[in-house]
Amino acid sequence: TARAHVMAAIQGTTTAGLVFGGEVPPYSTATESWNGSAWTTTPNSLSNAMSDGAGAGTQTAALAISGESPPMRQITEEWNGSSWTAGGTQINPRTANSASGSQTAAITFGAQPSAQNLLTEGYDGSAWSTRPAMATARYGTGGSGTATAGLAAGGNTPAPALTAATEEFT
């Protein structure tokens, strides 16, 4: 399905992937999986139509984190490989955030609005809690790694201006 501002593209291997949410328009609940040669729309979609959020995990155990629908969301949805269910409520609403980690140990960082773009939150599989803030205020970063060894790369600063900064979360 053609769409912009997808929530996340979860990469596992060259033969497994997951993409969900986005703007088609309107905001989407669609979930599609990759089998190495083709995308397949899954019969079960996100409970909330969202875009511009983050995702973490794997093709069979993923998280959809925050996003815009509008308004900005504080929700988390958990994917078990065949359907989405409600997860823990985030502390702060955000959009244009990034994430790293797994379904049971994840972090999300950077965001709009500017009041949230330094904030980092951690997820333990059921609840969100605060983590040390980012050093560079920004949104739309690339995120990778784990909840205890994550990377935030690039993005937009509140000016707005692009940054090439990379930060390590330990």
Q: Give the Cα separation of 21 and 30 in Å (integer).
A: 6
| CA distances to 2, 3, 60, 132, 150 from 14, in Å | 21, 21, 15, 33, 22
Q: What is the pLDDT of residues 140-155, one digit of tens each?
A: 888 999 999 999 999 9
* pLDDT the model gives residue 159: 74
Amino acid at 31: T
Q: Residue-wise pLDDT tens for the chain (170 aa)? A: 666 666 666 666 678 888 898 887 788 899 998 888 898 998 889 998 888 889 999 989 999 998 888 788 899 999 999 999 999 999 988 889 999 999 999 999 998 877 778 899 999 999 999 999 999 889 988 899 999 999 999 998 877 789 898 999 98
DSSP state letter for 116: G
Q: How far is CA 57 from the centre of its chain?
A: 10
* pLDDT the model gives residue 10: 66
Q: What is the pLDDT of residues 29-45, one digit of tens each?
A: 999 988 888 989 988 89
The sheet with strand 120-123 has its strands ordered as 98-101, 106-109, 120-123, 128-131
* pLDDT the model gives residue 9: 62
What does the block give as tokens for 128? 């969100």
What does the block give as tokens for 104? 């049971």
